[in-house]
Chains A and B, each alone.
Chain A
Amino acid sequence: MEVRIEDLVKRFGDVVAVNHVNATFESGKLIALLGPSGCGKSTMLNMLSGILPVSEGRIYFDDQDVTSLSPDKREVGLVFQNYALYPHMTVLQNICFPLKIKRIPKKERIERAKEYARMVHIDDYLDRLPKELSGGQQQRVAIARALVKEPKLLLLDEPLSNLDAKLRVEMREEIRRIQRESGVTTVFVTHDQEEATSISDYIMLMKLGVMQQFAATRNLYNDPANLFVADFIGNPTINQLHGIYEEGSIRADGFAKAIPIGNYKIEDGTRIVFASRPESVLVSKKSGETEMEVEETYISGKDTLCVLNAGDGFLRAYVDNEDAPEEKTAVRVSFRKKGVFVFSEESGERYYE
């Protein structure tokens, strides 16, 4: 099912938790709602589920306007951050609950519940109470409970944040598998950019209630709309040099020479942020437009991370271990075309060539 949100706003008193958001979630895709704490992710999710009424705007499921429908009429499955499994019910009863509410005959609902229990690999624990399960198992039950009513939309609110690092990676692959298997349109809330990029088809990145960018996961990394997106996505974070744009170069603060960055549609003298992915910074001993000093080097696996002095700022770059320069020596630096962006320092807006 396709989900379309139009000009969605949610206010809590003076706080605007979600601020005029527009987007279309394609049918059958996994969409990550990403952003720092308090940016309105849960609020958005709860509006999609119908738990929270909207302040303004419309929500459409396919062509149906569901804005004022109650949760039970929306056919959504919801997985909470802390799972919210009913503590007095066994695993089977938990999974059966949505069907029981729909007054589906007992035999049929047990059959269907067992089917989904198998799908999430929890069928060995059907008679246990939630308190007798590990975090990962509880999460599977929560997913099964959300899926059993065969929702048209599956909503997950930071379902992995209670798990340890290893289980988190395992479970996110599980979620991906289950989502593929069931083919249900899924919205997945997280504040972890790595989690978002590793499983989603699309990412909606939010900040203070405002949607920053909504794009295919790959594009978010390769083609960020603004400085916030460029900074939020990617590990290690993107290099940022502040300075003044001047005839195809940046005069970085505290750095003597102009660094050529290519021609952008910017007036000379504008303050900009020159952002470059570490893998787009090319370091060599001979060829390169700009000379910089290597401040520190760290070996990380087969690569060496070089920290290059660029005045008030610095650049991080990766070099093959064999080619690694000595600390405190000069190297020559140039930039790839890909993974290099220029933003307005004032607004964070991106400038294009």
Chain B
Amino acid sequence: MNNEKKHRHPIRYDPDEKFEISILWKILLFLGPFMAGILLFTIYPFINAFLMSFKENYSILRDTFSGWGLGNYRKVLNDPIFVSGLKTTVKYVVIVVPISLALSIVIAVLLNNAKRFKAILQTAYFMPLVTSTAAISLVFRFIFANEGGLVNKIITTLGQSQINFLGTNKWSEIVLYIFGIWNILPFTIILLLAGLQNIDPQYYTAARADGAKTFDIFTNITVPLLSPTIALVAIVNSISAFKIFDYVFQLYNKPGPGYNLYTIIYYIYEKFGGTKPQYGYAAAASIVLFFIIAVFTLLQRVLQRKTDY
């Protein structure tokens, strides 16, 4: 009898003890610090920003505002600077996410099949992940520098004229994309590799028996069976790409050489600081970004349900 109870409730080893209360305490003890952190640094600021976005002429120092309303949103959405920031951000997402994803899929599949150089390759693709992006951005600045930069050296050796990579709008944008793709690859590859490990090798055997060659197997078996992971990675990468700011800052110390890489977060950042802060605008812009990201998150849910075999 006693034994049976023990089995059914492995935590409640003594049925007479007032376990409900003691367990509640344990739960609070373990989860408490984490929950406090979330409450303090995520939920509270979020609610605050949400409220702030509806407060007109809000001043953080005096904590005063002239009234509730949609004024901030109207201003932000009609602000050509915000709209161009949104465009720059969306362009970044649309370029960096698919390219990095395609590259990662190919690299992950190759890595998954590589037997000989696995150890070396593993270190290679882990490198950017464990190196700080600040350090990598420094290296990038060296590589693309005007005088003595690696790429320009190669170009001039080939007899072409030097390119101002970091100082022109067109090229600074491309350098940013390369930098973004470079940084996102390792994490993406690792997730995709995990997904590849989950594919039962019998499907490859079956496909080979059905006459499929390597490329047919890749397109007809590997990619579809990997699609849940691909969907997940695409969404996660998109979300983080929408928040692009640090890469731009680390490469150029400003929103690109000609203010051409001005992103949404840059807008929020500027409206929040500077000489004439406009907190309400910053809050409204954050909430707009939040909704864009929320839509992507929902999309991920739908996609994952669709690809759940």
Nearest-Cβ distance from residue B147 to partner chain A, whole angstroms: 54
The complex places the Cα of A131 from the Cα of B210 at a distance, in Å, of 20
Does B212 contact A80, Cβ atoms closer than 8 Å?
no
- Whose C-beta in chain B lies nearest to the C-beta of A86? B203
Query: When each residue 182-207 of chain B gets 1 if its CB lies under 8 Å from chain A and 0 otherwise, what string results?
Result: 00000000000000000010110111
Query: When each residue 207-241 of chain B gets 1 if its CB lies under 8 Å from chain A and 0 otherwise, what string results?
Result: 11111110010001100110100000000000000
Does B225 contact A78, Cβ atoms closer than 8 Å?
no
Nearest-Cβ distance from residue B211 to partner chain A, whole angstroms: 4
Inter-chain contacts of A77 with B (CB < 8 A): 209
Inter-chain contacts of B216 with A (CB < 8 A): 101
Does B206 contact A88, Cβ atoms closer than 8 Å?
no
The complex places the Cα of A51 from the Cα of B210 at a distance, in Å, of 11
Does A102 contact B211, Cβ atoms closer than 8 Å?
yes
Residue from B208, B210, B216 having most chain A Cβ neighbours under 10 A: B210
Inter-chain contacts of B224 with A (CB < 8 A): 88
Does A149 contact B205, Cβ atoms closer than 8 Å?
no
Inter-chain contacts of A50 with B (CB < 8 A): 209
Nearest-Cβ distance from residue A334 to partner chain B, whole angstroms: 54
B41 at the interface (CB under 8 A from A): no
Inter-chain contacts of B211 with A (CB < 8 A): 71-72, 98, 101-102, 149
Inter-chain contacts of A149 with B (CB < 8 A): 210-211
Does B206 contact A78, Cβ atoms closer than 8 Å?
yes
The complex places the Cα of A145 from the Cα of B210 at a distance, in Å, of 8
Query: When each residue 81-95 of chain B gets 1 if its CB lies under 8 Å from chain A and 0 otherwise, what string results?
Result: 000000000000000
B309 at the interface (CB under 8 A from A): yes
Cβ contact of B220, chosen from A51, A78, A97, cutoff 8 A: A97
Given contacts A101-B211, A102-B211, A131-B309, whether A51 and B205 have CB atoms under 8 Å apart is: yes
Does A86 contact B208, Cβ atoms closer than 8 Å?
no
Does A72 contact B225, Cβ atoms closer than 8 Å?
no
> Would you list which residues of chain B between 290 and 309 have a CB under 8 Å from chain A?
307, 309
Given contacts A97-B220, A101-B216, A129-B309, whether A87 and B225 have CB atoms under 8 Å apart is: yes
Inter-chain contacts of A129 with B (CB < 8 A): 309
Q: Range of interface residues on chain A?
A: 20 to 34
Inter-chain contacts of A131 with B (CB < 8 A): 309
Given contacts A51-B205, A84-B203, whether A97 and B210 have CB atoms under 8 Å apart is: yes
Query: When each residue 75-111 of chain A gets 1 if its CB lies under 8 Å from chain B and 0 otherwise, what string results?
Result: 0111010101011100000000110111000000000
Cβ contact of A87, chosen from B208, B210, B213, B309, cutoff 8 A: B309
- Whose C-beta in chain A lies nearest to the C-beta of B213? A72
Total interface residues on B, using CB and 8 Å?
Answer: 20
Cβ contact of A84, chosen from B205, B212, B225, B227, cutoff 8 A: B205
A139 at the interface (CB under 8 A from B): no
Inter-chain contacts of A80 with B (CB < 8 A): 202, 205-206
- Whose C-beta in chain B lies nearest to the C-beta of A52? B205
Inter-chain contacts of B207 with A (CB < 8 A): 86, 97, 101
Inter-chain contacts of B309 with A (CB < 8 A): 87-88, 129, 131
- Whose C-beta in chain B lies nearest to the C-beta of A81? B202
Does B221 contact A86, Cβ atoms closer than 8 Å?
yes
- Whose C-beta in chain B lies nearest to the C-beta of A145? B210
Nearest-Cβ distance from residue A43 to partner chain B, whole angstroms: 13
Inter-chain contacts of A84 with B (CB < 8 A): 200, 202-203, 205-206
Inter-chain contacts of A71 with B (CB < 8 A): 208-209, 211
The complex places the Cα of A101 from the Cα of B220 at a distance, in Å, of 9
Inter-chain contacts of A102 with B (CB < 8 A): 211
Does B209 contact A76, Cβ atoms closer than 8 Å?
yes
A138 at the interface (CB under 8 A from B): no
The complex places the Cα of A77 from the Cα of B208 at a distance, in Å, of 11
Given contacts A82-B202, A84-B202, whether A98 and B210 have CB atoms under 8 Å apart is: yes
Inter-chain contacts of A197 with B (CB < 8 A): none
The complex places the Cα of A131 from the Cα of B203 at a distance, in Å, of 15
A49 at the interface (CB under 8 A from B): yes
Given contacts A84-B202, A88-B225, whether A72 and B220 have CB atoms under 8 Å apart is: no
The complex places the Cα of A49 from the Cα of B208 at a distance, in Å, of 10
Inter-chain contacts of B221 with A (CB < 8 A): 86
Nearest-Cβ distance from residue B200 to partner chain A, whole angstroms: 8
The complex places the Cα of A78 from the Cα of B203 at a distance, in Å, of 12
- Whose C-beta in chain B lies nearest to the C-beta of A88? B224
The complex places the Cα of A50 from the Cα of B210 at a distance, in Å, of 11
The complex places the Cα of A72 from the Cα of B211 at a distance, in Å, of 4
Inter-chain contacts of A49 with B (CB < 8 A): 209
The complex places the Cα of A70 from the Cα of B216 at a distance, in Å, of 15
Nearest-Cβ distance from residue B202 to partner chain A, whole angstroms: 4
The complex places the Cα of A82 from the Cα of B210 at a distance, in Å, of 16
Inter-chain contacts of B206 with A (CB < 8 A): 78, 80, 84, 86
Add 18 more A-B contacts to A78-B209, A102-B211, A129-B309 (CB < 8 A).
Answer: A49-B209, A50-B209, A51-B209, A71-B209, A71-B211, A72-B208, A72-B210, A72-B213, A78-B210, A80-B202, A84-B203, A87-B203, A97-B207, A97-B210, A98-B210, A101-B211, A101-B213, A149-B211
What are 22 A-to-B residue pairs whose CB atoms are below 8 Å? A51-B205, A72-B210, A72-B213, A76-B209, A77-B209, A78-B206, A78-B209, A78-B210, A80-B206, A84-B205, A86-B203, A86-B207, A86-B221, A88-B307, A97-B207, A97-B210, A97-B212, A97-B220, A98-B211, A101-B210, A129-B309, A149-B211
B residues adjacent to A (C-beta < 8 A): 200, 202-203, 205-213, 216, 220-221, 224-225, 227, 307, 309
